[in-house]
Amino acid sequence: MSWAQAYRRSGMETTNLADLYGTPLLDWDRITTTLDAGIGQAPGAGGPNRHTCWLATIDRDGSPHVTGVGALWADGSFWFETGEVTRKGRNLARDPCCTLSPATLDFDLVVEGEAHRVTDPDRVAAMAGRWAAGGWPASVDESGTALTAEYSAPSAGPPPWSVYRITTHTAAALLAVEPGGATRWRF
């Protein structure tokens, strides 16, 4: 059973946000099929000319903090990495609520949920392998629970970098191609 089918069976709520314009509901399977195929971050790999994921966390004073991250979609969830001393790392340690917003060629997506640090050595190693296969030479550090590499995005802070998995509570997509449409899913 796919991730989307499992959520349908558990009572996923779907709302047509563009019903006013007569556009159809978007199918969650269409979204996850695109995500499962991979959305690269190299120029020409996404929309409008590249793919960027924007992560929003909550600062101590309640204000939002938004930054770009190198997120991956794997096993029905978004994953990203960052140093624990970064602003987003400190924010997530205090409050795991976040949103992640990638733009693809066909749709823009916003997922809302909670990001939790993953420390299982097998899972961290698997994610390091996925990032390495995508062109970032990540490897597991000596602790077995974080990542290291020769380089990362400056916003990731210094290594080691913790791996986070987002548990999605709500997602909304805006279709950027015909026939258009906008849909929200609550899981």
How many domains would you assign to the chain? 1
CATH number at residue 135: 2.30.110.10
pLDDT at residue 151 is higher than 90: no
pLDDT at residue 80 is higher than 80: yes
pLDDT at residue 41 is higher than 70: no
In tens, the pLDDT along 93-111 reads 999 999 999 988 889 999 9
Residue 151 is inside which H or E element, if any? none
pLDDT at residue 44 is higher than 60: no
Please count the CA atoms within 13 angstroms of the CA of 186 that sit on its side-chain side.
5
For residue 85, the 8-state DSSP code is: T
**Does some domain include residue 45?**
no
Residue 77: give the domain boundaries.
3-40+50-186
**Does some domain include residue 60?**
yes
pLDDT tier, 153 (very low <50, low <70, confident <90, very high otherwise) = confident
List phi, psi (to 5°) of 3. Answer: -60, -45
For residue 70, the 8-state DSSP code is: -
Residue 7 is inside which H or E element, if any? helix 3-9
pTM of the model: 0.88
Mean pLDDT, all residues of the chain: 89
How far apart are alpha carbons 55 and 74 in whole angstroms? 17
Find, among 120, 139, 121, 119, the residue nearest to 129 by Cα: 139
pLDDT tier, 42 (very low <50, low <70, confident <90, very high otherwise) = low
**Both ends of the chain: CA-CA distance in Å?**
16
In tens, the pLDDT along 155-178 reads 788 899 999 999 999 999 999 999
